[in-house]
Amino acid sequence: MKNKSKTFLAISVVILLTTFFHYIGLLKPLENLIRSFISPVSKVMYDLSLEIKGQNQNFSTVEELKNAYIISEEKLLEKEIFDSQIKLVSAENEELRKELNFLKKNSYQTLGADVIGKNIDSLGNTIIINRGEDSNLKVGQSVVVSEGVLIGKIIKVEKSNSVIRLINDNQSKIAATILNENKSIGLVEGGYGISIYLNFVPQTEKIIIGDVVVTSGLETNIPKGLLLGKVEAVEKEAYQPFQKAILTPFVDLEKIFVVSVILI
């Protein structure tokens, strides 16, 4: 107990002497030295601020700084969403402009529609549009985008929407012609939603990489000359009567927003 009392007494004396020396100014040099080390850190903490609505806002607590940071992140997210919507609208407007240019060059009667859904079948590839029986659409009508690019045919019509089988769907088959010297005729078929092929072209006819393939007009409701794809590779097997070409579509079939249905 005596040791604890002595320690308490000593601490009390030190506190009293420190307080006394502070008031009479004897500790001022030491206090100035300590303050010189603390001041830069203190100033940084004090001046810490974020730019919000064009004004600097100072924060007295960490909680205020945290809340301001969260608000800034939300505003940044809102801006990114707005920017992405602007880009999407611009892309749709560009697509509509191309479709209008195509329609001006041809006498087709068409109906515009928006894509509102896509199938989830891994073996096929279909999309849904917001037009149907109410708009006099029928099974078999061809659907185009951009400047005359055929993307598929209507396979199902309901009251207010329709299902389109895209040209890369496994069940899609389109009568086609190669724009080469022979005007070779073949059949464009889908490859499980991944690719498209031109089949049944006689081995004797010449196919060159880069050749353009269009609809032949030999099929009901499919006008002649609609773009299908470009030859990317040619597959020929000895002693086979036909050769095959792998085609690259003119548009990304996974990124279709608006379409036009040809009403014939």
Give me the mean pLDDT over the 220-245 stretch: 88
Do 135 and 6 fall within a single domain? no
Q: Is 262 exposed, middle or buried (0-12, 13-18, 19+ CB in 10 A)?
A: buried
Q: Is residue 90 part of a domain?
A: no
Q: What is the reported pLDDT for 11?
A: 67
Q: Is residue 58 part of a domain?
A: no
| Residue among 169, 202, 203, 206 at smallest CA distance from 188 | 169
Residues 6+ positions from 200 with CB-CB distance below 8 Å: 186, 187, 242
This prediction has a pTM of: 0.61
Return the CATH number at 245.
2.40.10.350
Q: Is residue 196 part of a domain?
A: yes
Do 179 and 253 fall within a single domain? yes
Q: Is residue 6 part of a domain?
A: yes
For residues 191 and 168, give the distance between their C-alpha atoms in angstroms, rounded to a whole number. Answer: 6
Look at the chain and report how many structural domains it folds into. Answer: 2
Lookup: tokens for 131: 């037009």
pLDDT tens for each residue of 162-181: 999 999 998 999 999 988 88
pLDDT tens for each residue of 84-109: 555 555 555 555 555 555 555 666 78
Q: Is residue 62 part of a domain?
A: no
pLDDT at 83 over 70: no
Give me the mean pLDDT over the 139-162 stretch: 91
Confidence of residue 69 (pLDDT cuts 50, 70, 90): low
Report yes or no: 220 and 193 within 8 Å, Cβ to Cβ: no
Q: Is residue 76 part of a domain?
A: no
pLDDT at 221 over 60: yes
Do 167 and 37 fall within a single domain? no
For residues 164 and 259, give the distance between their C-alpha atoms in angstroms, rounded to a whole number. Answer: 10
Report yes or no: 197 and 249 within 8 Å, Cβ to Cβ: no
Q: What is the reported pLDDT for 48?
A: 47
Do 28 and 142 fall within a single domain? no
Do 127 and 9 fall within a single domain? no
Q: What is the reported pLDDT for 233?
A: 92
Find the domain containing 27 and state its range. Answer: 2-47
Do 126 and 250 fall within a single domain? yes
Q: Is residue 60 part of a domain?
A: no
Q: Is residue 23 part of a domain?
A: yes
